[in-house]
């Protein structure tokens, strides 16, 4: 009896009372379990995120009870559709998560469509229209993905549908409800001002004909007169005058469309043709018009708009700015003028904008982009025009060349807006902006090179801390090209059995006896074109390109193999191997290390992995779990570059380091600086109190060694005891019991 009560209580905790489905927490737990099952069973997993349309409008118009009833009805339909081992959860107010193991996307799509069709049929009988949007994600059994990532993918897919739904709804409302709206019928305005307002607010060319007085006389907007070189706005015998501008091949279509209006055969005018503008260019136009008649059916007014089709798709509908195609056209026009005036271009990029989408959602992210566009556009100086590029990037064209100081002032005004948190729809967010700028045609003389050079400068802003403006310099392009070339050469080396790669060993000695106890394995790489490339250059490129995972495995395996070879000479020999933060984020790398140790049949106590202080200071749960697993293998951990971070002392309290390597920066002035000597002694004492060994790097002279040997250090590494050497040379020196000293 007690067990039944416990089960009932457990079910109640997992159930959403309104929908009688699983609640959000239970749904997330269920999804995590099903992801693991899908891997074990080697089967697909289809997941759907469903969002009811217009629930806020339903609550407002009919009351919250009606809204709850809609939620219950959709939940009931989803529940009835579930098959064995399938689950549904109410994820939020009007969202549901459905989990379909071993199902294909198309099957679930068809099933959800049937539910929507059922709800649509029911709508014909009920006053409330019920529909929903959904996003589907198909998870492959080999795919490494978390429940949170699956939900985000579903949300992204659903967002696209939701956006289309709202656009279609808006169009329908405009086309079918505006004239039926009682308030719209009662609305009045000054008709004399209407034409002037329309002309001033559109890029289209407006025309009007008073057919009751003179059907051959037309009034054209001033913009059309200017663009096509018409003699004046009011033109008598307009068909003849305007017809002179129309392409010969399109004359027939133009005349037939006009005759249909003149002969009262049609009230609608819709024709496309080419016309020559004042610059002698042929442009495609679409001419639309409508005839208004009096009570007796006589035509009294003919009016419409002529659209330049070359301007189609030039507006970004999210922000209302011109898009990148218009940006490119504008640049080309400015550069091809006979007397090209210098001008400036700025590229703006929102830093870490993806975090806003992740923390909130893509809909909110779009609203932030629109607001940001309005804010920046409102403070731009006269003569500057803003364009939406891609994603969270914007271009600004300064019609006249701006000095560095002027562009810095503009950017400072932009930064001033975002110095504090922003608020939108009761949600807070924070953004910073990185920027790049150049002058044309000095820095670039065509669209492609303008885009490339701005990108080089923007990358420089990003690499140097973000939230800054960088002016393009020619050296940036050369640097970028060299980096790309080096990355391709690194890729070639790795794909061809690591040709050009080598490991050098630098001795690590006992601080008291000066006997070699181990070595640090240091990667070296020689390029066929550039020769020996310093690690400070090629290691970051390996990380930037993602090649560090493959290279890191090669380094680890080679270092372990060489270490085993060295134990035949020095039985207690240990090798220190540097690990990149990217390698540590690879969940498979731990298993790889274990496999190498097993294959080489070496005692793990001979292996030390080095991690930078800046990485170890993070101290999050995932990192601590990783350290625990590494030490469980029997491998020791060394904290490299100690003393260069922001939390040097604090990190010692929690970091699971077996060895601390004091950075060589503290050796630079050790002979003259009391601070450096005191710091080294202090760290040695502190580490020894918590059973951590200490190695000092950068000892290069006998005088320096004499200074530090009394400080209680465990190990020393530096040029005084040996420079990094190719392994075979290092081994030979050890066999001969010699060094570079």
Q: Bridge partners of 299?
A: 293
CB atoms within 10 A of CB 510: 14
Question: pLDDT value at position 391?
Answer: 86
Q: What residue spans of 601-722 are helical by DSSP H?
A: 613-616, 621-632, 648-654, 674-689, 702-708
Tokens (6 digits) for 325: 């195609």
Q: Residue 205 — very low, low, confident or very high, per pLDDT cuts 50/70/90?
A: very high
Sign of CA dihedral 151, 157, 158, 160: positive
Q: Residue 46 — very low, low, confident or very high, per pLDDT cuts 50/70/90?
A: very high
Give the span between the Cα atoms of 415 and 438, in whole angstroms. Answer: 19
Residue 348: partners with Cβ closer than 8 Å, 6 or more residues away? 376, 393, 394, 395, 396, 414, 433, 434, 435
Question: pLDDT value at position 382?
Answer: 85
pLDDT in tens, 677-707: 898 999 899 899 888 999 999 999 999 999 9
Q: Is 416 exposed, middle or buried (0-12, 13-18, 19+ CB in 10 A)?
A: exposed
User: Which of 274, 312, 305, 301 is closest to 287 using CA atoms?
Assistant: 305
pTM for this entry: 0.51
In contact, 242 and 235? CB cutoff 8 Å: yes
pLDDT in tens, 243-284: 999 988 888 888 888 888 888 888 888 888 889 989 888 888
Question: pLDDT value at position 86?
Answer: 94
Res. 108: pLDDT tops 50: yes
- The alpha-carbon radius of gyration of the chain (Å, integer) is 36
Least confident of 161-175, 205-219, 441-455, 527-541: 161-175
**pLDDT > 70 fraction of the chain, expressed in percent and rounded:** 90
Residue 645: partners with Cβ closer than 8 Å, 6 or more residues away? 613, 614, 617, 651
Residues 89-107, mean pLDDT to the nearest whole number:
91
Give the span between the Cα atoms of 222 and 202, in whole angstroms. Answer: 12
User: Which of 433, 434, 529 is closest to 481 using CA atoms?
Assistant: 529
Longest Cα–Cα distance in the chain: 118
pLDDT in tens, 452-463: 899 989 988 988
Tokens (6 digits) for 475: 């050296």
Of how many residues is the chain composed? 741
Residues 494-503, mean pLDDT to the nearest whole number:
94
Res. 171: pLDDT tops 70: no
Residues 341-351, mean pLDDT to the nearest whole number:
93
CA distances from 542 to 459, 487, 571, 581, 741 (A): 17, 7, 34, 12, 33
Res. 5: pLDDT tops 50: no
Q: Residue 647 — very low, low, confident or very high, per pLDDT cuts 50/70/90?
A: very low
Q: Bridge partners of 192?
A: none
User: Which of 642, 729, 735 is closest to 693 using CA atoms?
Assistant: 642
Tokens (6 digits) for 573: 């020999």
Res. 228: pLDDT tops 50: yes
Name the 3-class secondary structure at 357.
Answer: helix
Tokens (6 digits) for 270: 């819709």
Q: Residue 520 — very low, low, confident or very high, per pLDDT cuts 50/70/90?
A: very high
User: Which of 548, 533, 443 is closest to 485 using CA atoms?
Assistant: 533
Res. 619: pLDDT tops 90: no
- Which range of 95-104, 136-145, 194-203, 422-431 scores highest in mean pLDDT? It is 95-104
Question: pLDDT value at position 735?
Answer: 87
Give the span between the Cα atoms of 707 and 701, in whole angstroms. Answer: 10
Q: Bridge partners of 273?
A: 285
> What is the DSSP annotation of 534-603?
PHHHHHHHHHHHTTHHHHHHHHHHHHHHHHHHHTTTSTT-EEEEE--HHHHT-TTHHHHHHHHHHHHT--
In contact, 272 and 285? CB cutoff 8 Å: yes
CA distances from 698 to 642, 661, 665, 714, 723 (A): 13, 10, 8, 14, 11
In contact, 360 and 423? CB cutoff 8 Å: no
Pairing of strands 636-642, 132-139: unpaired
Question: pLDDT value at position 170?
Answer: 64
Q: What is the dihedral of CA 321, 323, 324, 330, to 10 degrees?
A: -70
User: Which of 592, 558, 559, 553 is closest to 574 using CA atoms?
Assistant: 559
Residues 5-21, mean pLDDT to the nearest whole number:
68
User: Which of 629, 547, 559 is closest to 587 using CA atoms?
Assistant: 629
Tokens (6 digits) for 166: 């709202």
Question: pLDDT value at position 305?
Answer: 93
Phi-psi category of residue 280: left, alpha or beta, with phi > 0 → left and psi -120 to 50 → alpha: left
Q: Which residue has the higher pLDDT, 736 or 234?
A: 234
Tokens (6 digits) for 710: 């009394």
Q: At what angle do helices 535-545 and 474-495 cross, to 10 degrees?
A: 80
């Amino acid at each position: 009896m007690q067990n039944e009560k416990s089960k009932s209580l457990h079910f109640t905790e997992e159930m959403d009372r309104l929908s009688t489905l699983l609640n959000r927490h239970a749904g997330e737990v269920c999804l995590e379990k099903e992801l693991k099952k899908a891997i074990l069973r080697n089967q697909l997993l289809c997941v759907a995120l469903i969002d009811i349309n217009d629930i806020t409008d339903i609550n407002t118009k009919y009351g919250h009870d009606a809204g709850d009833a809609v939620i219950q009805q959709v939940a009931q339909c989803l529940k009835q559709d579930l098959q064995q081992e399938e689950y549904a959860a109410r994820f939020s107010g009007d969202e549901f998560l459905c989990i379909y193991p071993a199902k294909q996307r198309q099957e679930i799509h068809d099933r959800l469509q049937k539910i929507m069709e059922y709800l649509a049929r029911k709508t014909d009988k009920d006053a409330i229209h019920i529909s929903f949007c959904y996003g589907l994600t198909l998870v492959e059994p080999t795919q490494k993905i978390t429940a949170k990532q699956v939900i985000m993918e579903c949300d992204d897919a659903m967002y696209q549908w939701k956006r289309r739904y709202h656009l279609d709804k808006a169009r329908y409302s405009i086309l079918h409800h505006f004239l039926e709206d009682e308030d719209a019928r009662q609305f009045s305005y000054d008709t004399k001002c209407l034409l002037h307002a329309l002309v001033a607010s559109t890029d289209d060319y407006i025309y009007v004909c008073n057919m009751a007085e003179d059907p051959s006389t037309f009034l054209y907007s001033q913009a059309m007169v200017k663009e096509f070189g018409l003699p004046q706005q009011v033109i008598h015998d307009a068909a003849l005058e305007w017809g002179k501008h129309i392409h010969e091949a399109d004359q027939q279509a133009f005349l037939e469309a006009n005759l249909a209006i003149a002969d009262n055969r049609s009230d609608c005018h819709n024709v496309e043709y080419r016309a020559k503008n004042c610059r002698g260019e042929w442009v495609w136009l679409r001419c639309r018009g409508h005839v208004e008649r009096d009570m007796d059916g006589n035509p009294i007014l003919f009016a419409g708009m002529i659209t330049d089709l070359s301007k189609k798709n030039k507006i970004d509908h999210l922000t209302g700015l011109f898009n990148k195609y218009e940006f490119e056209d504008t640049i080309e026009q400015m550069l091809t003028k006979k007397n090209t005036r210098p001008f400036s271009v700025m590229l703006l990029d929102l830093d870490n904008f993806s975090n806003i989408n992740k923390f909130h959602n893509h809909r909110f992210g779009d609203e932030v982009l629109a607001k940001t566009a309005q804010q920046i556009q409102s403070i731009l100086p006269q003569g500057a025009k803003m364009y939406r590029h891609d994603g969270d990037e914007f271009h600004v064209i300064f019609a006249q060349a701006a000095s560095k100081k002027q562009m810095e002032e503009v950017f400072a005004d932009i930064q001033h807006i975002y110095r504090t948190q922003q608020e939108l729809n009761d949600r807070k967010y924070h953004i910073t902006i990185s920027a790049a700028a150049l002058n044309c045609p000095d820095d670039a003389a065509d669209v492609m090179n303008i885009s490339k050079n701005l990108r080089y400068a923007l990358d420089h802003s990003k690499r140097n801390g973000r939230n800054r403006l960088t002016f393009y310099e020619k050296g940036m392009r050369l640097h970028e090209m060299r980096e790309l070339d080096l990355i391709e050469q690194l890729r070639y080396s790795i794909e061809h059995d690591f040709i050009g790669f080598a490991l050098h060993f630098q001795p690590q000695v006992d601080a008291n006896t000066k006997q070699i106890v181990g070595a640090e394995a240091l990667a070296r790489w020689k390029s066929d074109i550039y020769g020996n490339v310093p690690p400070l250059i090629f290691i970051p490129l390996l990380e930037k390109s993602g090649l560090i995972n493959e290279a890191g495995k090669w380094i680890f395996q080679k270092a372990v193999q060489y270490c085993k070879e060295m134990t035949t000479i020095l039985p207690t020999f240990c090798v220190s191997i540097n690990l990149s933060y990217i390698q540590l984020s690879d969940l498979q790398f731990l298993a790889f290390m274990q496999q190498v140790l097993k294959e080489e049949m070496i005692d793990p106590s001979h292996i030390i992995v080095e991690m930078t202080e800046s990485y170890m200071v993070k101290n999050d749960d995932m990192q601590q779990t990783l350290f625990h697993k590494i030490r469980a293998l029997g491998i020791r951990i060394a904290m490299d570059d100690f003393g260069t971070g922001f939390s040097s002392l604090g990190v010692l309290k929690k970091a699971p380091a077996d060895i601390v390597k004091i950075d060589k920066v503290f050796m630079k002035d050790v002979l003259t600086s009391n601070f450096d000597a005191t710091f080294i002694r202090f760290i040695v004492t502190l580490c020894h109190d918590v059973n951590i060994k200490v190695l000092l790097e950068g000892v290069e002279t006998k005088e320096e060694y004499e200074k530090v040997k009394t400080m209680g250090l465990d190990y020393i590494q530096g040029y005084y005891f040996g420079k990094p050497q190719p392994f075979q040379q290092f081994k030979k020196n050890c066999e001969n019991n010699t060094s570079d000293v």
